[in-house]
Amino acid sequence: MSDKSYGFETLSVHAGAAPDPTTGARAQPIYQTTAYVFEDADHAAALFNLQTVGFIYSRLTNPTNAALETRLATLEGGRGCTVTSSGHAAQVLGLFPLMSPGAEIVASSRLYGGSLQQMRNTYPKFGWKAEIVDADEPENFKRAVTANTKAFFIESLANPGGVISDIEAIARIAESAGVPLLVDNTLATPWLCKPIDYGATLIVHSTTKFLSGNGTSMGGAVVDSGKFDWATGGKFPSLAGPEPAYHGLNFFETFGDMAYTFHSHAVGLRDLGPSQAPFNAWLTMLGIETLGLRMERHCANAQKVAEYLARHPAVAWVNYAGLPSNKYHALAKKYLPKGAGSIFTFGVKGGYDVGVKVVDSVELFSHLANIGDAKSLIIHPASTTHRQLPDEQRIAAGAGPDVLRLSIGIETVDDIIADLEQALAKATGK
């Protein structure tokens, strides 16, 4: 594509893809290959020395994956992107160039339960420490900073509670501390929010969710803004120091604003190996073509469902930022002006037992551990996604015993509401 400024929907369809120059095929090909033939010995040596850009082995780079990476970087307003095998893999890969034994990360307590599990129990095995703070008060990040802090981590729109973080305020604190801000933008997608516009350094996605949109393809991504000075304060030697595996090459000196992305491929994917399958990348490319259309319907449906539940006698509360009464409504107006997303929680009167009965009574909704599907989904986090956390931590994460999480799909909204009506009636008699 040319340098012309195109709209989001146009970029969703065209960025990163063009007619195949050999066959004329209009659809992006699936390059289902493990390796690539070199032109000659000099060409091979140049590729391995990072002196030229090209394809060596699909653990590192693949043309189908590269097309998806270009599309995601374009939509997020970033400089480069690395796709991975899952959202969790993206989080590990995202932190990998920044961390070392003894390094610390300051993270929001309002994260997906699996992310909190990573922070609290898995990262310490690498010698990384996570300080978990309440992101509702940005100053908590400032208070948690130490000499060993290497990154901040938040979700733009948190799973499961639909909590919205004040990205701009937290980004200013990260900048003052000389560390990058990583934002998981999975629930919002770049259609609703572009955290880089508010000062975020790195964007993490589970592409499994809204980006693919059909519940078929595991994947993750890390998008780099290209705006962080990795040489600041000598905090990030992996990016701005000599790399022994490449004869002392300094990624930041050599590749500038592409340093992080080159490192993620040449070192991160090479050594950790969480590569995305080309077929999954291809399916995700297809999904992104309709991202804007789907998100518009997701958000419109979610708003109506939330308003319905807020009036229901069996419902104790609804946590949806699209409701004027919600504490995050003002932040939603700022960061999510096109809609407050389609993932939210509500509490049923009667607690844990009633919550379980509701998920056992739905007919149109699917009871499963995923979000962002075209189909409407429901889950009881306390007994599933957050069950590994102690009660106190579950409640802090917005996954108490009475909580149900909804992922509102793109079906006819009257049918979605009717299914919740009958399920609540069966569970509560109301």
- On whether residue 21 sits in a domain, the answer given is yes
Query: Which CATH number covers residue 424?
Result: 3.90.1150.10
The verdict on 270 and 316 lying in the same domain is no
* Residue 430 scores a pLDDT above 80: no
Q: Which helix (H) or strand (E) holds 404?
A: strand 403-407
**Which domain covers residue 214, as residue numbers?**
8-287
Average pLDDT over the chain reads 95
Last residue of a domain, one of 259, 287, 315: 287
* pLDDT tens, residue by residue, 1-59: 555 689 999 999 999 999 988 899 999 999 999 999 999 999 999 999 999 999 999 99
* pLDDT tens, residue by residue, 151-210: 999 999 998 778 999 999 999 999 999 999 999 999 999 999 999 999 999 999 999 999
What φ, ψ does residue 113 adopt, rounded to 5°?
-55, -35
Query: Which CATH number covers residue 107?
Result: 3.40.640.10
* pLDDT tens, residue by residue, 45-61: 999 999 999 999 999 99
Q: What is the CA radius of gyration of the chain?
A: 22
The verdict on 299 and 259 lying in the same domain is no
The pLDDT value given to residue 122: 96
Average pLDDT over residues 275-295: 98
Find out whether 177 and 150 touch, Cβ atoms under 8 Å: no
The pLDDT value given to residue 392: 79
Return the structure tokens found at 6: 């195109």
- DSSP per residue over 104-173, as a string? EEEEESSS-HHHHHIIIIIGGGGT-EEEEE-TTSTHHHHHH--TTEEEEEEESB-TTT--B--HHHHHHH
Quickly list H helices, 325-428.
329-335, 352-361, 391-396, 413-428
The verdict on 222 and 321 lying in the same domain is no
The pLDDT value given to residue 384: 78
The Cα 8–Cα 37 span in angstroms is 36
**List of long-range contacts for 424-430, beta carbons under 8 Å, 24+ apart:** 424/312, 424/314, 424/315, 424/348, 424/358, 426/357, 426/358, 426/361, 427/314, 427/348, 427/350, 427/354, 427/357, 427/358, 427/361, 428/314, 428/348, 428/349, 428/350, 428/354, 428/357, 430/312, 430/313, 430/314
Return the structure tokens found at 53: 């850009």
Return the structure tokens found at 161: 């509670």
* pLDDT tens, residue by residue, 244-254: 999 999 999 99
What φ, ψ does residue 417 adopt, rounded to 5°?
-65, -40
The pLDDT value given to residue 183: 98
The verdict on 86 and 161 lying in the same domain is yes
* pLDDT tens, residue by residue, 98-143: 999 999 999 999 888 889 999 999 999 999 999 999 999 999 999 9
The pLDDT value given to residue 66: 98
- On whether residue 416 sits in a domain, the answer given is yes
Find out whether 258 and 239 touch, Cβ atoms under 8 Å: no
The verdict on 267 and 350 lying in the same domain is no
The verdict on 283 and 309 lying in the same domain is no
Reported as a pLDDT band with limits 50, 70 and 90, residue 216 is: very high
| Domain count within the chain | 2
Candidates 364, 408, 338, 379; CA nearest to 8 is: 338
* pLDDT tens, residue by residue, 363-408: 999 999 899 999 999 999 888 766 777 777 777 667 788 999 999 9
- On whether residue 2 sits in a domain, the answer given is no
Average pLDDT over residues 63-75: 98
Residue 296: partners with Cβ closer than 8 Å, 6 or more residues away: 338, 339
- On whether residue 3 sits in a domain, the answer given is no
C-alpha to C-alpha distances, 234 to 239, 242, 317, nearest whole angstrom: 10, 12, 48
* Residue 429 scores a pLDDT above 90: no
Last residue of a domain, one of 266, 287, 308: 287
The verdict on 191 and 339 lying in the same domain is no
| CA 395 from centre of chain | 22
Reported as a pLDDT band with limits 50, 70 and 90, residue 268 is: very high
Q: Are strands 181-184 and 80-84 parallel, antiparallel or unpaired?
A: unpaired
Last residue of a domain, one of 271, 287, 303: 287
- DSSP per residue over 251-301, as a string? HHHHHGGGHHHHHIIIIIIHHH--PPPHHHHHHHHHHHHTHHHHHHHHHHH
| CA 144 from centre of chain | 24
- On whether residue 168 sits in a domain, the answer given is yes
The verdict on 164 and 229 lying in the same domain is yes
The verdict on 170 and 21 lying in the same domain is yes
The verdict on 54 and 117 lying in the same domain is yes
Average pLDDT over residues 259-287: 98
The verdict on 133 and 265 lying in the same domain is yes
The verdict on 405 and 318 lying in the same domain is yes
Find out whether 97 and 264 touch, Cβ atoms under 8 Å: yes
- On whether residue 1 sits in a domain, the answer given is no
